[in-house]
Chain A
Amino acid sequence: MTWKLETDEIERRRELALSQGGEEAIAKQHSQNRLTIRERIEKLIDPGSLEEVGPAAGTPHYDENGVLTGMDPANFVLGFGKVNGRRIVVGGEDFTLRGGSPSAAGLRKSVYAEELAVQYRLPLVRLHEGSGGSVGGTGGKGPSLPGPVNAPARFRSVAQAMATVPVASAALGAVAGLPAGRLVASHFSVMSKSTAQILTAGPAVVARAMGEQKSKDELGGWKVHTKNGTVDNGAEDEGACIAEIRRFLSYMPDNIYQLAPVIDCDDPVDRCDEHLLEIVPRNRRQAFEMRSVIASVVDRDSFFEMGRGYGRSQITGLARLNGQTVGVWANDGKFLAGSMTADGAHKARRFMELCETFSFPIVSLVDEPGFMIGSQAEREATIRHGASAVLTAALTTVPWISVMIRRSFGVAQAAHYGPDGYVIAWPSAESGPLPVEGGVAVAFRREIEAAPDPDARRRELEEQLAAKQSPFPRAEALGVHDLIDPRQTRPELCRWLDRVQPLLPSLLGPTAFSIRP
């Protein structure tokens, strides 16, 4: 007597699990240009590397003789896989079953994803398309029992994952409710412009509660959510989203107890791009292309920008110097003069928290005119969000290098310098309590008004004071570590990164603060 009967049934159940929501549901998914969750996972991971967790979970159907006739698999696929040879945990809702609204087994698997990632200290990738709970309950047979009072807090593992391992997520179809909350609980999130919407609640619930008639795209399409920071990036389609996640992971360590992998770098560390000598216009009213500066100083093509669509006066992302991951933060003077807005401050704070969590040295390219001003800025509580960024910087323990490229003014500029950071300045650097153009009109109001030609006097004062903001007196007072030729920036950054290597291992492990959405 063998166990052949049972092993046959195991095999049969495995096949049933792969059938997902059935041929019709899969065809419907494909007809809307969306992949199934299993196809998504295949696209993400190295071929043949999936090690599935809980494939047998689901709801079986039996005939009157107790013989298995079919099974609805749990509508969340979970497993281990490898990306570029490195193991990760991956999971996502199966939209072909119940529209991704969790089944009982699906919910168990989905909440297990973070726990697995924390336990095995592996990066977590979630590929989302699904909705949250239903008033019909997870079994579809009326409300289920609430969890007992001593059940672990549902979202503790989500928060722990963010403090322990890299978490990347994608919105690939409509994502609402619980999956939407988990989508944004990540270090990097991306949404498909052609297929995804992110909704706290969908159109029907909104119409009932708010009387607002909006389509899914109007409520939560990419135009809304890449601009407001709900997701970091938008990408054209599912394939592009998955490519972004693979790229993001390439910069990351497996967990907070490791340093990020260093890759071979064929870009010379002493490369000096000539155009940096003239990139900052002498006309102080004209902005320059900060992304061009970034491209010239980091390893060729290594800048991975995160959050380009929101908080646009601040540029944040990951890059490499001599093959090693660093965080890069810069101002974009072409957008609101590079000033610190409420959303820019939020983006900067998350960026610093990411670097602190994973022990990434920070490269800060400074052209900060100060907090954004005006009635809209006041309505947005800019000073509170800005101060939050400033205090986050003050609490970081990772090494910083700040390059004073142009303006560095007010309270806001303090966010761009880390404790004990290394500071170098270009000849175009200016710094002070506030830019002279605004400050002169206030501080010298009486003198200007009394002058025979007030405008001329104002300009004269501005020029006098602007000269005092030059970096030379600052360097004389050891107010910067050095003044440099802008063309020498990349070699300076690479030398600095080499010097701070001995500090990095001691930064590993849990940090005093990590990152929250």
Chain B
Amino acid sequence: MTKVELETGGSVWKMLVQPGDHVAQGDTLFILEVMKMEVPYPAPVAGEVIATHIAEGDAVEEDQLAIEISP
């Protein structure tokens, strides 16, 4: 299981995947808006999205768990 955690706070601008999606390494999973800038989060590994813990519009914090990818 690979956990994607947030490097900074901000708000969730766009979710681009949902549970069940298969992603390749480097695919953009979601985009945060931080200080008016878009911050895309690429998939660190290829696999299946098992869970998403954030949703569009959420105000989020540093170190928060965003997505889990299997394997």
| Alpha-carbon distance between A17 and B20 when the two chains are bound, in angstroms | 64
Number of A interface residues in the complex (CB < 8 A): 18
A27 interface residue (CB < 8 Å to B)? no
Check if B1 is an interface residue, CB within 8 A of chain A: no
**Residue interface bits A328-360, CB-to-B below 8 A is 1, else 0:** 000001111101000000000000000000000
User: Which residues of A sit under 8 angstroms from B8, Cβ to Cβ?
Assistant: 335-336
Contacts of A438 in B (CB 8 A): 36
Q: Mark B35-61, 1 if CB is under 8 A from A, else 0.
A: 111110000000000000000000000
B34 within 8 A of A: yes
Q: How far is the CA of A339 from the CA of B9 in the complex (A)?
A: 13
In residues 409-458 of chain A, which contact B (Cβ within 8 Å)? 435, 437-438
Looking at the complex, which one of A285, A312, A335, A374 makes contact with B36 (CB distance below 8 Å)? A285
Q: Secondary structure at chain B's binding surface: helix, strand, loop or mixed?
A: loop
Taking the closest CB of chain B, its distance from the CB of A414, in whole angstroms, is 19
Interface code A302-324, partner B: CB below 8 Å = 1, 0 otherwise? 00000000001000000000000
A82 to B40, CA, bound (A): 46
Contacts of A286 in B (CB 8 A): 37-38
- For the A-B complex, the count of residue pairs with Cβ-Cβ distances under 8 Å equals 30
Q: How far is the CA of A435 from the CA of B35 in the complex (A)?
A: 10
A437 neighbours in B (Cβ, 8 Å): 36
| Neighbouring A residues of B9 by C-beta, 8 Å | 374, 376
Do A369 and B38 form a contact, CB below 8 Å, given A335-B8, A376-B9?
no
> Could you tell me the distance in whole angstroms from the C-beta of A17 to the nearest C-beta in chain B?
48
A-B contact pairs, 19 of them (CB 8 A): A285-B38, A286-B38, A287-B37, A287-B38, A312-B7, A333-B37, A334-B39, A335-B7, A335-B8, A336-B8, A336-B34, A337-B36, A369-B35, A369-B36, A372-B35, A374-B9, A376-B9, A437-B36, A438-B36
List the 8 closest pairs (A to B, CB-CB), nearest first: A337-B35, A337-B37, A285-B38, A437-B36, A336-B8, A287-B37, A286-B38, A339-B35
